Structure 1
Amino acid sequence: MSLLKVNNLTKNFGGLAAVSNVSLHLEKNELVGLIGPNGAGKTTLFNLLTGVYEPSEGDVLFEKEGKEERLNGIKPYKIANLGLGRTFQNIRLFKELSVLDNVLIAMTGKEKVGVLTGILRLPKYYQMEKKMENQARDLLAIFDLLDKEGEKAKNLSYGEQRRLEIVRALATDPSILFLDEPAAGMNPQETAELTELIKKIQREFDLTILLIEHDMSLVMDVCERIYVLEYGQLIAEGEPEEIKTNKRVIEAYLGGELTC
């Protein structure tokens, strides 16, 4: 049973099919790429998989404890609680809050205490609070952000904000991590560091990752399989070497060479 299975997924906006009849699957611990020209429907597909949009047709099925759960129509926060975490193409941090608080907010709902315990601030409440802070700091340390924990998120460099967004997604304890153009706006050095970081995340966090990215060198380096979208439709699937030489894929990239 696949960890995530997408069957004939379609999303219409008025008379436009932004995603049309897309089927794909993700297996446990895979690192899979999703590529395509601008406007191909990649982020729309991510939004369908994470509950931001509801499909017009088709199904999104998530394997949870040996059972398939249909995600259609489920709110994004409930999907996140099920184990699907994501980052966004445009960074969405709480800019005025501290780095640590950004991570702690993402962890809300992981640890639960009774209403009375929370209202009266009983010892169990403070134990839970301390545990979450320790977990948040452990994550920040992995991403070289621990020394920034007290700074406002808006004061981080662009690359650091990108890393913090990934930390925040990991703080939800996902089974699947959706990364939407994590290298966008990064310089070559930052992109190289991100490439190694993505490999580390998959290895150390026992995750399945689906990655949207325009940097083909990054995609070809880290991904085991790649799906290619054009005008909302899947036009290819395969291993990196297959995709690099696929004529339909090369044509989709404005008729030019798929540089990697």
Structure 2
Amino acid sequence: MTTLLNVEELVKNFGGLTAVSDVNMHLNDDELVALIGPNGAGKTTLFNLLTGVIGPSSGSITFRGTDGTISLNGMKAYKIANLGMARTFQNIRLFKELSVLDNVLIAMTAHYKEGFFQSVFRLPKFYKTESQIRKEAIELLKIFDLQNDLDKLAKNLPYGIQRRLEIVRGLAMKPKVLFLDEPAAGMNPEETADLTRLIRQVQRDFHITVLLIEHDMSLVMNLASRIYVLDHGSLLAEGTPTEIQQNKAVIKAYLGEEA
């Protein structure tokens, strides 16, 4: 398998606090990996490091793109996104005053470069590109049963549909790696079941790598092929769902010494 993302000895300090400590991990092409751990383990901090929201104190993050292996250390978040890495956030960050369609169109524009004169003077190429982007956005929304919500404001959608739209917006960036930060947070069991099917469909049909932070263990165990366990900023374990379920150190971290 081809390794897309490789992390070596990654460290993040905030003053005297070490939030991420000597983390080594990798993501292969076309796999679904989960990152789990107790509250405060450093999972979102690690996500922020991998996607360029914050920079590491030390260590290395490399990504295998179309032009070979690239170091992501010190790279701006928008440049990392353009390389093929998209994410959702624990707290939904849609453009809530814009329509469903506009949320997706904004994400797609990074892959279409209209020239200055085409844009300013509205030349035929400009309208052709705009028409193509709109067509692709609608087709993507149809795949996820959002075609009837095109003109609705994002803020007026039910919570579970907002989560779905956020994932679709990430897919609109045509990523090689999709990072999902607690996508089931705040969902009821029915919404979580729908989300599980959606994530499986995304990974299967789009052939992308997914890294998932999630506290819902049934969702994680049903989806992930590999699991990393983070505790107090350090990797506690890595393995298949079965291996993680039977790992005594993981059980102790979640349930305490007696368990």
Q: Is TM more than 0.5 here?
A: yes
1:83-110 deviation per Cα after TM superposition (whole angstroms, max 9, x unaligned): 0000000000111111111111111221
Distance (Å, rounded) in 2 between the aligned partners of 1:245 and 1:14 = 36
Structure 1 runs (4+) greater than 6 angstroms displaced? none
- Say which SS state the counterpart of residue 111 (structure 2) adopts: coil
Match in the other structure for 1:239: 240
Deviates more, 1:141-150 or 1:216-225: 141-150
Q: Unaligned 5+ residue runs, structure 1?
A: none
Alpha-carbon contact 1:94-1:102 (below 8 Å) kept: yes
| 1:162-173 matches, cutoff 5 A | 162-173=163-174
* Distance in 2 separating the partners of 1:256 and 1:141: 49
Which residue in 2 is equivalent to 1:35? 36
Give 1:213-224 correspondences, 5 Å limit. 213-224=214-225
Which residue is equivalent to 2:7? 6
User: Tell me, what secondary structure is at the counterpart of 1:3?
Assistant: strand
Q: Matches of 1:185 and 1:220 in 2, distance apart? A: 19
Aligned equivalent of 1:120? 121
Partners in 2 of 1:94 and 1:208 — Cα distance? 25
Given residue 196 of structure 1, which amino acid in structure 2 is its aligned partner? R
Do the aligned partners of residues 121 and 252 (structure 1) sit closer, same or farther apart at CA in structure 2, a change above 3 Å counting? same
Q: Which residue of 2 aligns with 1:143?
A: 144
- Unpaired runs of 5+ in structure 2? none
Name the counterpart of 1:81: 82
Deviation at 1:196, TM superposition (A): 1.1
TM-score when scaled to structure 2? 0.97
Whether 2:63 is the aligned partner of 1:62: answer: yes
Corresponding position of 1:71: 72
Q: Which amino acid letter does the alignment assign opposite residue 29 of structure 2?
A: K
Q: What TM-score does the superposition give when structure 1 sets the normalisation length?
A: 0.97
**CA–CA distance in structure 1, aligned partners of residues 18 and 147 of structure 2:** 44
In the aligned structure 1, how far is the partner of 2:28 from the partner of 2:36? Answer: 18
| Structural mapping, 1:147-226, within 5 Å | 147-226=148-227
Amino acid aligned to 1:200:
Q
- Give the drift of 1:64: 1.1
Alignment-mate amino acid for residue 229 of structure 1? L
Q: RMSD of the TM alignment (CA)?
A: 1.3
Helix, strand or coil at the partner of 2:61 = strand
Inter-CA distance 226–257: structure 2 relative to 1 (3 Å threshold):
farther
Q: How many residues align?
A: 258
Percent identity of paired positions between Structure 1 and Structure 2: 64
